[in-house]
Structure 1
Amino acid sequence: MNLNNVLAAIFIGLALTLTRGQENLEAQDASTILDLEEVIVTATRTERQLSSLPLPVTLISKKQLQKTGVIRLDEILNEQTGIITVADESGFEGIQMQGIASDYILILIDGVPLVGRSSGNFDLSRLTVGNIKQIEVVKGPSSSLYGSEALGGVVNIITETPKDSSLAGEVSYRLASFNTHDANINIKQKKNQFGYSLFANTLASDGYDLRPDVEGQTVNPFNNYTLNGQVVYDFDESLKLFSSARYYYQNQDAVLAVDEEVFEGSSDINEFNAHLRADHYASKKLNFQYEFYYTKYKASELLESPISEDVFSQSEFDQDLLRPEIRASYTIKPNHVITTGLGYNHENLDRTFFDEQITFNSQYVYAQYDFYPFEKLNVILGARFDNHSEYQSQFSPKFSANYSLSSAISVKGSVGYGFKAPDFRQLYFDFTNSAVGYTVLGYNVAVEKIQELDAQGQLSDILFTPSALEEPLKPESSVGYNFGLAYNRGKLKTELNFFRNDFENLIDTRIIARKTNGQNVFSYTNFSKIYTTGLEVNTQYKIDERLTFSGGYQLLFAKDKEQKEALEEGTVFARDPQTLQTIALDNSDYFGLVNRSRHTANFKIFYDVPNWKANINLRINYRSKYGLFDSNGNGILDDFDTSFVDGYALTNIALNKTFYNNYTVQLGANNLFDYTDNENIPSLAGIQAFVKLNIQF
């Protein structure tokens, strides 16, 4: 048995025997007892104590970010229960939560959305953690508050705001493997009514190469920069102004070898966000928020021959979003709060493979009632209505409840509807692979483009009638259920959550025509029905003020309902590699959806030595085997497929020592045992040692 299998058995055993929970809020107004370390706003759009929420929520504090030594958002999310980053078929990485893919997870910064996705995935490594106050993760459908893209959950990054009257700040520098340099400077001050902050980060690396026999590197050299500034002004106790601007830039080398010819170039990303919000406290019971937000994401890539200067590929991606919103919160009486909001989205996308710039417009309104019908029961009722220019209107309700069985035990549950609108790519894409010859068309342009290809004599067969594409492409939808128990007494915190998400009208590609070159023409359609279900266990056991153990485990089943029906009917076959005979498969042979692991787990130890002003932590993350694709061509991922990636465990360690109160030195290593899989997991670079100096002033 290898090291990874031993670690996996240990971690799963610990995670199943230890469980973690939340403190119970019992018949008190949450706003009057808020623990500043555990206040969360994403789940309800109002300040609530984490332990009182009737939803599965993860809170990652600044203290945890500093101790672990992570520098990008994807690194810390990978250490949370039920959350991993995975690569899709195109190689782009995104977050997966409760088995739900990145396309359906909304990414926010200070409560407003970020744009710019590759094949539906949002690149979390774009976000540095240097100025983050906390990260809030809400699992399950959240469309009742956030609309499309929140079908599977929300990740909200809360940045630090100036509070202290004296000038404060910090500078840090981190040197890591692969000649990786990360540097931060953070300055903030609030004097009387006026406050400001300025944050800057730079990250540069030589990249790494897991396959020296192949031209180019696995990850090419890159450098990026983040600038973030905030200005706050308190006119008086009833009116406060918040403004923020963020700019991100990245440049990365690009190399591609095709038929012994090497093409070189670079890719560039420019991102800008501007956020303005006024908080108006009209009375003790009524407050308003007036918000204006604009964001722009632009990416470009060029690959050309350095000898002939022939261009192999050139692409542009330019997206922007404008969103004003008004929110109101009214306290009817203690523990009875109504929150309402309305807003407007105006979104543009101009990119290569689109005939013209595409514009989406939508209007939305939502309402939520957070109340205690009696002393031990908290209920949240919410709903949102979205009206969109390109798809049918959506109504998204949600119900959540938390019941206190005792001072230590609470029961919580929620059920909600989520949706995701068809994106620009699924509606307007017009792409032909020049090397292979296949074509992918968006749903709204498919009929017109097929007619053009047919008139040019490029088609041998058309597999649909025009009337089949007359109805608009439907939004993808899901009903999500979460039910759990929480225990908190003394040194032990425990939480157990059962979840299920049923998806309908999932959008996927289908063949709509065949070309004379033997390749296919694909478009998008609604047809898939899938589900993800399982359980999550989280644990924290605090032996004393110095030593804390925590662990988490997720059991996941993610399957296609139509494939299960086909298996039950005995119409799916595979060849047994031992007998070489073709056999009918049943549900026991069905592994599930690609890129989903049945088991994931984490185990963490944090140890503080106050007398030495030092601390050390060890974090281990395990992922069981998963399949990449259907290798035997029968349409499902079954136990006879050969595309499975073996399970593995990654170990991270960090040691912090503070000198003279303001100087902290950090030593650490990620992927301590140097695990790599150059064929299947190019994002694992091997062991990454680092040293960091942080100076506070």
Structure 2
Amino acid sequence: MKNLIIFILMFLISINGYAQTDKTDKKTMLMDTLVIKAEKSMEDPQTGDVDIEASPVNISIIKREDFEGKSDSLIGIIEKETGVQVRQSGGLGSFSSISLRGSASDQIMVFIDGILLNDASGGGVDLSNIALSDVESIEIYRGITPVNFSKASIGGVVNIKTLRPKKGLNTSINAGWGSFNTQKLSGFINHKLEKWDYLVSADYLSSDNDYDILNNNGTQWNTLDDKWEKRQNAEVSQGNILGKAGYNFNDNIRIDIANQYFTKDQELPGWDNSSLTDSSLETTRNISTLKLNLKDLSSLNFDTSTQISYTWKQEEYDDRGGI
């Protein structure tokens, strides 16, 4: 009987303690007002752009302010991102492809302003054929392709946005010189008024690519004939012109016209680094785009964007010497 009384008392004490604790936890606590402000984007979003906040994929965004003024290339900027591997077959201007999380290069879709650059015949996109001076931002989507793009892929998407007009009159010119007689010249002019705007960007890049290499003369196991020498027939020169014009009919209707022209002449070294080699690959590409943006349609405030583009590309391989 005594043990039963002790047990009942302990039970009542525990219930009382629990009730007091529960009562204390229900006290209301008032906090000061908390204001959250989103970081202002330097880029003016347009109809048809991917809504980053609504996209569930793993995405990296590289803004122009992160690389502007630096002596770098598109390849050098992208390969610094997590999960990105870039394969380059030679010096400046050589074929360069991208891989995301170990995927093959032809499993990556590369777009410029939403226009697919991948060839219908397959294969990866040569990133050396994209001028960094025209780039406003770079979006890297890993694994899943947002519905905004015309074609899906299992590897991911690289979407490159070119320069967009900003308010007022803006001009810029840059020049540089580096090793192996590398020369670079770029500039742009942008003028935006209330109704209309235009933008012109141009750049030129060239290099001798005559860096030192160890030539084993095709005899890998015989080191007696190995020698250091300059890389022969590896010169490259390329140019790019981007032009844009737009007109706002009113606050809800806007039309844009854009044209991007790219050309590259690349000499191809022989397997034995012979000075007699004169093989070359000439690449020419032109992309023309007409875009119509409509905003706040009907009482539901729909936004829509319609775009027509034409891409022309030609590659001419010259090996008439046969060396």
Length-normalised TM-score, structure 1 = 0.36
Label 1:108 to 1:86 Cα distance change in 2 as closer, same or farther (>3 A): same
Rounded to whole Å, the distance in 2 between the matches of 1:118 and 1:71 is 31
Structure 2: gaps of 5 or more residues: 1-36, 218-228
Q: Deviations over 1:132-156 (max 9, x none)?
A: 2211111113175535463211111
Q: Deviations over 1:327-368 (max 9, x none)?
A: xxxxxxxxxxxxxxxxxxxxxxxxxxxxxxxxxxxxxxxxxx
Matched-pair identity in %: 22
For 1:130, what is the secondary structure of its paired residue? helix
> Deviation of residue 233 (structure 1)?
0.5
Label 1:294 to 1:135 Cα distance change in 2 as closer, same or farther (>3 A): same
Rounded to whole Å, the distance in 1 between the matches of 2:180 and 2:210 is 6
For 2:123, what is the secondary structure of its paired residue? coil
Give runs of aligned pairs for residues 551-570 of structure 1, distance below 5 A.
none
| 1:94 aligned onto 2:97 | yes
**Structure exhibiting the larger radius of gyration computed from Cα positions:** 2
Identify the match of residue 286 of structure 1 among 293, 298, 302. Answer: 302
Name the residue aligned to 2:140: 137
Give runs of aligned pairs for residues 176-575 of structure 1, distance below 5 A.
176-213=178-215, 217=231, 220-256=234-270, 262-281=276-295, 282-283=297-298, 285-305=301-321, 312=322
> Deviation of residue 217 (structure 1)?
2.5
> Deviation of residue 262 (structure 1)?
4.6
Label 1:294 to 1:116 Cα distance change in 2 as closer, same or farther (>3 A): same
Query: CA contact under 8 A between 1:204 and 1:222: conserved in structure 2?
Result: yes
Label 1:81 to 1:259 Cα distance change in 2 as closer, same or farther (>3 A): closer
Query: CA contact under 8 A between 2:254 and 2:292: conserved in structure 1?
Result: yes
Label 1:207 to 1:301 Cα distance change in 2 as closer, same or farther (>3 A): same
Rounded to whole Å, the distance in 1 between the matches of 2:174 and 2:104 is 34
The structure that is strand-richer by fraction is: 1
Rounded to whole Å, the distance in 2 between the matches of 1:127 and 1:85 is 14
Label 1:62 to 1:144 Cα distance change in 2 as closer, same or farther (>3 A): closer
Name the residue aligned to 2:73: 72
For 2:268, what is the secondary structure of its paired residue? strand
| 1:82 aligned onto 2:83 | yes
Rounded to whole Å, the distance in 2 between the matches of 1:94 and 1:259 is 24
For 2:133, what is the secondary structure of its paired residue? coil
Query: CA contact under 8 A between 2:166 and 2:191: conserved in structure 1?
Result: yes
Label 1:258 to 1:122 Cα distance change in 2 as closer, same or farther (>3 A): same
Label 1:259 to 1:184 Cα distance change in 2 as closer, same or farther (>3 A): closer
Query: CA contact under 8 A between 2:285 and 2:313: conserved in structure 1?
Result: yes
Rounded to whole Å, the distance in 2 between the matches of 1:262 and 1:117 is 35
Rounded to whole Å, the distance in 2 between the matches of 1:196 and 1:242 is 10
Amino acid of the structure 1 residue aligned with 2:82: T
Rounded to whole Å, the distance in 2 between the matches of 1:125 and 1:261 is 25
> Deviation of residue 208 (structure 1)?
3.1
Q: Deviations over 1:2-33 (max 9, x none)?
A: xxxxxxxxxxxxxxxxxxxxxxxxxxxxxx96
Structure 1: gaps of 5 or more residues: 1-31, 306-311, 314-697
Rounded to whole Å, the distance in 2 between the matches of 1:247 and 1:267 is 17
Length-normalised TM-score, structure 2 = 0.73
> Deviation of residue 46 (structure 1)?
4.5
Cα RMSD after superposing both structures: 3.2
> Deviation of residue 64 (structure 1)?
0.3
- Larger relative contact order, structure 1 or 2 (CA cutoff 8 Å, min sep 6): 1
